[in-house]
Structure 1
Amino acid sequence: MSSKSSTQHLSRVNIIRKKHIRLTIAALIILGLIILAGEITSYDHIDGLLSIPAAISWLFSNMLFSAGTLANFPTVLRLLWETILISIVSTTTASVFALIFALLGSQLTQVNTFLMYVAKLVASVSRNIPVVAWALILVLSFGTNSATGFLALFFATFGFLVRAYIETIDEASSDSIEALRATGATYPQMIFKAVLPGSMPQLFSWTLFMIETNIRSATLVGLLTGTGIGYLFDLYYKQLNYEMVSLITLSIVVAVLIIEAISNRIRREII
């Protein structure tokens, strides 16, 4: 018995030792990549760390807004609300189209193989073009207006949600679909009796997640399309009005935190 326990102990020690060696090698590789990246880009990591206190001091001395700046707060709230609405509308609209393409692209709910690959290809192209690139492309066609921001968020959201919805459908509905197929159920019956009831909580969760993400992205899109809170941020930033920049940034952060808290609460209730 003692020999067997001793062997098991040695085996555990060897396993732990191998894990430590792997972790050490991984840490050394990461450290080497950091040093190599610094050499290639001529970036001094030590100078970067030493500059942090001075940067923090500059922020506190230049970006603390005064009472006079608060007079513009209603304008900030109005454009922030506009940005939030564009994010919500673009996400919810994209989710409807994403669900249709996800049903066509999922192996469990595909109509035929050709449409499945077409749906995945369209979603992949849409997903792999960054939202900033979408905004720049669409500005050339639609100009600087809210429609451009809506479409940029829509296309980027659509591609992401199609993939997320396909994975959700494949994971949550396989058993139910197989059971209904065995009973001779029609395609609409499989969708409304198995896919949607089994997947809806997770699909809704992904939609809420994208609303949170798009509120952040909408600020950046607004810089390019001249709309919403992003336009206001860009306007005051170019004027070097750091007090207004600070007020706008703080408003965005608070809005995102509030919406994230609401979203998390809803997700806990539905999942």
Structure 2
Amino acid sequence: MEKTNPQHVVDVDIIRKKHIRLSAVALIILALIILSGMVTEYDHIEGLIAIPAALEWLFANMFFSSSTLSRLPTVLNLLWQTVLISVVSTTTAAFFAVIFAITGSRLTAINGPLMYISKLVASISRNVPVVAWALILVISFGTNAATGFLALFFTTFGFLVRAFIETIDEASSDTVEALKATGATYPQVIAKAVIPESMPQMFSWVLFMIETNIRSATLVGLLTGTGIGYLFDLYYKQLDYEMVSLITLAIVIAVLLIEWVSNWIRREIL
């Protein structure tokens, strides 16, 4: 009789265990979906059946006419303001995030307490949602562009500090130690070793946050009464679905263009 290969038996056993784990995970996910439907009283079957009718309504009401298209300059003007607020808030947050990341990274930390304070400040800033920041700040600053800027700034700052800390931690410690061995000061180590090695990845994170903030700025505009979000909210409440369609299309195209530019820049610098 042909002998069974022990290695083959082991491989089959590993594959069987993987299949069992995948099946168990799939059953757990299915159970969670059913349980969530029961708790929220949402019928998944009815939701799926309603999709064709929803698409039919969408195509019947969201196409814009030439008269609506004549208001495109207004849409583009407010969209441009939204893009600028996103870029300015992101770049400003990136400047401060670099400082906090340098003091918060284990590789470049000045001392332990300052490192944990930097991480704590960034964590608080990051874990408050941008919508919550907008609602908090609108009480103090009112409905203006400054409120939207600050809401995006605080959220972006917290995220970038964490991303920059991880980037700096991944930098070569050998270069840092070599510079220290030659008698280089702390600022010289940062300027000659840490920043040059981490800058490409940091720049990539900044570009990513600019893309994200353009989407977030639209939502913030709904709450602060500024930018393209304000215009969207205005026409949505008037049930002017043609203008809503035009604004949505303009936002999508703007985000896609900026994403394309960001990807091109990333390919050039990374």
Q: Normalized against structure 1, the TM-score is what?
A: 0.98
Measured against aligned partners, the alpha-carbon deviations of 1:65-96 in whole angstroms (never above 9, x if no partner) come to 01110010000000000000000000000000
- Matched residue, 2:49: 50
Q: How does 1:178-197 map to 2 (within 5 A)?
A: 178-197=177-196
Q: Does 1:174 align with 2:135?
A: no
The offset of 1:268, in angstroms, is 0.8
- Matched residue, 2:73: 74
- Matched residue, 1:37: 36
Q: Is the CA contact 1:173–1:199 (under 8 Å) kept in the aligned structure 2?
A: no
- Matched residue, 1:139: 138
Q: Does 1:270 align with 2:259?
A: no
Q: Percent identity?
A: 75
d(CA) in 1 for partners of 2:220 and 2:206? Answer: 19
- Matched residue, 2:244: 245
d(CA) in 2 for partners of 1:194 and 1:127? Answer: 28
- Matched residue, 1:223: 222
Q: How does 1:63-102 map to 2 (within 5 A)?
A: 63-102=62-101
d(CA) in 1 for partners of 2:144 and 2:201? Answer: 33
Amino acid at match of 1:47: E
- Matched residue, 1:13: 12
d(CA) in 1 for partners of 2:9 and 2:260? Answer: 49
- Matched residue, 2:234: 235
- Matched residue, 1:119: 118
Aligned length: 269
Amino acid at match of 1:126: S
Measured against aligned partners, the alpha-carbon deviations of 1:172-206 in whole angstroms (never above 9, x if no partner) come to 23232122223332101110111011000000000
Q: Does 1:151 align with 2:156?
A: no
The offset of 1:111, in angstroms, is 1.0
Amino acid at match of 1:26: V
- Matched residue, 2:201: 202
Q: Is the CA contact 1:127–1:156 (under 8 Å) kept in the aligned structure 2?
A: yes
SS of residue in 1 equivalent to 2:66: coil
- Matched residue, 2:106: 107
Please provide the CA RMSD for this pair.
1.0
SS of residue in 1 equivalent to 2:107: coil
The offset of 1:134, in angstroms, is 0.3
Q: Normalized against structure 2, the TM-score is what?
A: 0.98
d(CA) in 2 for partners of 1:47 and 1:237? Answer: 26
The offset of 1:15, in angstroms, is 0.5
Measured against aligned partners, the alpha-carbon deviations of 1:189-226 in whole angstroms (never above 9, x if no partner) come to 11011101100000000000000000000000000000
d(CA) in 1 for partners of 2:123 and 2:265? Answer: 29
d(CA) in 1 for partners of 2:185 and 2:247? Answer: 53
Amino acid at match of 1:124: S
d(CA) in 1 for partners of 2:43 and 2:68? Answer: 37
